[in-house]
Structure formats: C-alpha cells, structure tokens
Chain A
Amino acid sequence: MMSFAFGIIGVAAFALMAPVMQWLTRRAASSVSPVIVLAIAAILSHLASVVLGIAYVPEFKYWNAASIFSFGVMSYIFAFGAVYKSVSLEILLEVTELPAREAPLSDIVERQVPGIFRERTNILVDSGLAERTGSGFVATAAGRKLAGRIARLRRVFAIGDTGLYDFPIERRR
C-alpha cells in the first residue's frame, strides 16, 4: 500500500508543478502548447515519485504507484480539457457574468457564438493550419494533412463530421 502513497505524492507534485509551468510558459510568451507542458510536468513528477518510492519502500510495486498516478494525472487532464476550450462552458460563463445572470437568446446566437467562431478561426490561423487569402480563408498544407488524418479516423470509427452533439430528439427528426 505504501507504493500507492508514492503515486499520490506524484499526483500532488504534478498538480503543483503543472500550473506553475503553464504560468511560466505564458509569461515567457512561449509557443509551447499547454498539452506539451502538461506532458513534461507528468514525466518529471512521475520520475521523481518513482525514484522516491524506490528509495524509501523496500518492496516498491511500480504498477500500484503508476495506477494511482496515471488516474490522478488523467483526471487532471480531463478537467483541464473540459474547461480549456469548451464552447458550452464559454457560453455559460458569459451568461453568468451578465447582469441578472441572463442573456437574450439572440445575443448568444448573433454575438457570442460568432465571437467564439472567430476566436477558433484565429487559433487555426495562428497555428499555421489555415491562412487568410484576401477576404477568405484556406487550409494550409499542414492543415489539409491533419484534416485528412482526422477524416480517416472519423470514417474508421464511424464518427460523423458535424461536431454536433447527438440528442435523441434530433435523431428522431
């Protein structure tokens, strides 16, 4: 059971290290993506906790430590991903910040969502996957390559390419 404890120590180290590294990356205006920063933090904290475990527990069971560490880190990444670029949560946060915590439906449809759309198109342009051509946009070679891979994966796993949630009422329509 002591091996689990060192897995938890690893999770704690990751939870402390990851936000600091994210903050430092942003402060340095580095182009390293937040996902890469998380991966580096995970590797460092895992190595540190395993080395400590080997040093302090005579019968250190690696997979006991690794199981709780991987679950803790994955839960963190899951929560991070959920709040990082969720359209639904962005809408919810913006509605909540308005007076009386309410917004006209038309405001969401005509202002908020187009704003989110523009923000995402900018991300694609900034990351070199799309580029502006006159008044329009076109996918770059890197963008076409990535889009091709995604389309193949979607076909293989029979996932639709709308990006919309499947609600029962919509399927009946």
Chain B
Amino acid sequence: MNLLPGPAQTIAICLSLWLPLLLLGYARFLSIRSAGSRFRIGCVTIVALFGLACIALPGERQFDDVVGGVLLLATAILLVYVFWSLLAWGFTLTLLTALAQAGRPLTEEQWAATYMQGGDLGTFAHNRLKLLLGSGMIVAANGKVSTTAKGLIVVRLVKLVRFATGLG
C-alpha cells in the first residue's frame, strides 16, 4: 500500500488548502464586490497554478497522478463553494444574523424587514425569481410566471436527486 500522494496530487492538496487563503487575499486586494465573481476568480487562479505546476514539475508526469490531482482540486472547489454559498446566499443563516443583529424581539414582519434591510419579502422573491428567469427555467408575462421546458427538466432532475439522496 502506498500512502504517499504523487507530485501532482501533492500540489493539488497544497492548492486546495490555499484556496480559502486566496479568497481571503482577494477580499482584501480586489475591488470586486460580487462574492460569486471573487469565488470564480479564485478557482480560475488555482486551476491555472495547477496547470502551470504540472508543466513545470521536473520528470515525467504519471497519468493517474494528474487525474488524481485534478479530482482532489475539483473536490476542494466544491467543498469551499458549499461553505461560500452558505455564507453569501444562505437564507436561513442570514435570517439568523438579521435577528441577532436587531438585538430585540422582532415580529414576523419586522424580522422580514430587518432581513431585507428595509425592503420586504417581495424584494427577496424578485431576487430569487431573477435567478430562475436568468437561467431560463421560468418566463414571466402578464403578471404570471410559467415553467419552461428547461425548467421542467430541472424539476425532474431535482425530484430524481431528492429520491436518490433519500430526501423523498
């Protein structure tokens, strides 16, 4: 049994650990406000560094080593994205931070207004609908929204994933 990672895999592990630090650095030095854009730039950076390292490393590359490295790096990107998306777009977590920051009891309406920083749940609904509209899953016309063919495929996929993962 060989417990040691290959050279490309070692680089992938190091870059994986480096990704959160890179995002931290980009938060300080890049004037990009969008969390999504900053995450994408961070990912492109580590993928580019991995590619460069694979070219620059001395000696012959082993195919299984590089494939393993790519998979480890992809795993790290997915893992960091799960936490990143929770921090940036997590609905329940943001509800909690809004309630805690208020520092006093809030009614349901006040809580919604605090969460939306003065707006209302309508603003939130439109924000989430924009995602569905922008990705072509729904269309809006005459004050109504309807599911597109693409949306139907996504719905079937979601139901399949829910069934396969035991969510029902």
A→B interface (CB under 8 Å): 1, 3-4, 15, 18-23, 26, 34, 54, 59-64, 66-68, 70-71, 74-85, 87-89, 91-93, 95-96, 100-106, 108-109, 112-114, 116-118, 120-121, 123-124, 129-130, 133-139, 143-144, 146-148, 150-151, 153-154, 156-167, 170-171
Contact = CB atoms under 8 A, between A and B. Distances in A.
Contacts of B36: 165-166
Contacts of A63: 2-6, 9, 68, 72
A165 B127 contact: yes
A38 to B, nearest CB: 9
A88 to B, nearest CB: 5
A101 B71 contact: no
B82 A162 contact: no
A171 B165 contact: no
Q: Which of A89, A92, A138, A148 has the most CB of B within 10 A?
A: A92
Contact of A91 (B3, B100, B112, B129): B129
Interface residues of B, number: 88
Contacts of B38: 158
A105 B110 contact: no
Contact of A21 (B99, B155, B166): B166
B96 A146 contact: yes
A144 B132 contact: no
Contacts of B143: 104-106
Nearest to B115: A163
Q: Which of A62, A96, A167 has the most CB of B within 10 A?
A: A96
Given A59-B1, A109-B126, A124-B99, 5 more contacts: A124-B92, A130-B96, A139-B96, A164-B127, A171-B34
A61 B75 CA distance: 18
Contacts of B117: 162
B134 interface: yes
B111 to A, nearest CB: 6
A95 B145 contact: yes
A87 B128 contact: yes
Contacts of A22: 165-167
B127 A91 contact: no
Contacts of A21: 166
Which 9 pairs across A and B sit closest by C-beta, in order of nearness? A19-B166, A163-B94, A22-B166, A147-B100, A102-B146, A136-B105, A158-B27, A67-B68, A67-B71
Contacts of A123: 92
A160 B35 contact: yes
A129 B125 CA distance: 24
Contacts of B134: 167
B37 to A, nearest CB: 8
A112 B112 CA distance: 14
A147 B35 contact: no
Given A95-B138, A96-B155, A143 B100 contact: yes
